[in-house]
Homo-oligomer: A and B are copies of this chain.
């Protein structure tokens, strides 16, 4: 217990809440922590709630009753999410990103933790109400996004491997067909990594026809787990609708054209903003 003035207590409580998203914190925790009356704590929380919610950074939920307390739900407003998607689209459209085979160099963007955290917060906003148990991705480039999302939702992250690894113990492996190249690949998930009946949010950095994501969905079936949502940072729009394996997903940016000859890339905000 440390006695603090209200001003200091507000700073401390703000820090405490921000580092514990999606976690119920009983009022008594604060009351004991600061040796303050619950009524004072409630007043402090009202101030914090107002600042958080007016600033558009999320919601502070108050839970009544014996198990009462507060829960910090980080959110990104539609407006700020769209501004993020537009910045991302502009950066993705830089012509020097074009690689042989009309691949796009994205590693500099994926290598920015702050950008990943912002995208993760948007996914946490989109999927926060879906009773998700675990966030899943397949190695490699979607990993930072999956962790950023997991951190905001206070959920564990499960990593699907391309090969069976000695450090994963017994694993379930499946074959899947990549939608765009029609080639056969393998992915593998440790038996211990996923509980039965888990509700899973699949996250990845890039999706073309959706073969890799469909592979992850097939893998989940082996664990009697279900997909609760799919979020990708960038989707390729240059896929025929009959080629597309997946229709139920959210994307933050959509690549509509990559032309190596004219060095032209078109990117627009993803389907998350279509509604």
Which residues of A are in contact with B by a Cβ distance under 8 Å?
4, 6-8, 10-12, 14-15, 18, 47-48, 50-52, 55, 57, 99-101, 103-108, 110-114, 116-117, 139-141, 143-144, 147-148, 150-151, 154-159, 161, 166-169, 190, 192-193
Pick the contact of A105: B12, B48, B144, B167 (CB < 8 A).
Answer: B167
Docked-complex contact B15 and A111, CB < 8 angstroms: no
A81 to B7, CA, bound (A): 28
Q: Which 4 A-B pairs have the closest CB atoms?
A: A113-B151, A11-B51, A14-B14, A113-B150
Q: Chain copies in the assembly?
A: 2
Q: Report which of B10, B48, B143 forms a contact with A144, defined as CB distance below 8 A.
A: B143
Contact of A192 among B7, B108, B192 (CB under 8 A): B108
In addition to A11-B14, A111-B193, 17 A-B residue pairs with Cβ atoms within 8 Å of each other are A7-B47, A10-B11, A11-B52, A14-B14, A99-B167, A99-B168, A105-B192, A107-B168, A107-B190, A108-B192, A114-B151, A116-B147, A117-B151, A139-B140, A140-B161, A143-B144, A144-B144
